[in-house]
Amino acid sequence: MKTPRWFLKKRLMAYLLCPLSLFYLIGSKFVFNLRKTHEYVSRRPIICFGNILSGGVGKTPVVRNVAKFFDAPVVMRGYKKSKETCGLGDEAKMLSNDGILVHVGNRKSNLILLNKQKSDSPIIMDDGFQNSSIKKDISVLVFDESVGFGNGFLLPAGPLREKKSAIRRADAIILIKRKNVARNFALPTDIPVFKAKNTEICPYNDKTPVIVFAGIGYPEKFFDNVPCKIIEKISFPDHYQYTKEDIENLINKAKKKNAELLTTEKDWVRLPDWAQKQIKFSVLNIDIEKSFYDWLKGKVNDVNIKKS
């Protein structure tokens, strides 16, 4: 589904859905406490990168950088598996394309498998901050400054999976800096906050007309940051599975306007081979300040000492 408009601003629909948010809060609290009664403790350090918002904050590029830094495997659910993504899911396929060992499916089963290996390197968990059935040794939340807390409401009235107070379960925060900062967005001052910057790299020169399309949580972030000569923007629902008709319509539209097509890497891996040969993606680089890696390496060493 497309990210509802009321997720970012307090519109009438958000207020109408507030009673349902109460039921969501009660239900999620019950599940969280129930799962915690049979918490799995890993022999190897687990670093969890999560968020308290529903999708679209830029977590996967962070996971990619950290997995490469430690040469560590990644455990994730593997959302929206398809034949185009080799049964992995778009985010998992992106990581796998970079040579990262990715385990998708049941997280606990994959952790048990990884703990049977002789390696003592950390295991990266992509998402799972709300999953209390697995003990995380280090939890890092990712926030995008332009999204902030959205409208500040819990699902389905807003994008929050948990109350803002849940941030205090985290050991650190990575804040992706933007020119435009969301209103009423303030993070706790007693938790380490490390800054990061995203850079989109357009494969076309600044004179080439480009039609951009994306099926991600907040497509506007992509549209606003790609340094191309954009003549049209087309958005699809998050994790959208493109049909042959969708792709042919996009290609025909580009031909009529004498333009090129451009999408995100996350969308590109969901395209069939024949479409990937005709459509390019923008490379997203994330630069996290060096002090974060120093901090994280120290935390992992501390965890290894405790577990030895």
- Domains of the chain in start order, with CATH, are 5-198+287-307 (3.40.50), 200-286 (3.40.50)
Cα separation, 166 vs 221, whole angstroms: 25
Cα separation, 51 vs 161, whole angstroms: 8
Say if residues 147 and 167 touch (Cβ distance below 8 Å).
Answer: no
pLDDT of residue 84: 62
Cα separation, 108 vs 131, whole angstroms: 10
pLDDT of residue 129: 95
pLDDT of residue 137: 98
DSSP 40: B
User: 237 preceded by cis ω (within 30°)?
Assistant: no
pLDDT of residue 90: 84
pLDDT of residue 142: 97
pTM of the model: 0.92
Map residue 270 onto helix, strand or coil.
coil
Map residue 148 onto helix, strand or coil.
coil
> Which among 249, 247, 279, 248 has a CA at the least distance from the CA of 263?
279
pLDDT of residue 201: 92
pLDDT of residue 86: 62
pLDDT of residue 1: 64
Q: Amino acid identity, residue 20? A: L
CA distances from 67 to 71, 98, 106 (A): 5, 10, 19
Say if residues 281 and 264 touch (Cβ distance below 8 Å).
Answer: yes
Residues of the chain short of pLDDT 50, as ranges, are none
Q: Which H/E stretch holds residue 64?
A: helix 59-70
| H-state helical runs in 192-268 | 219-225, 244-256, 265-268
Encode pLDDT of 225-279 as tens digits: 999 999 999 999 988 999 999 999 999 999 999 999 999 999 999 999 999 999 9
CA distances from 25 to 19, 159, 176 (A): 10, 13, 27
> Which among 238, 245, 244, 243 has a CA at the least distance from the CA of 267?
238
pLDDT of residue 77: 86
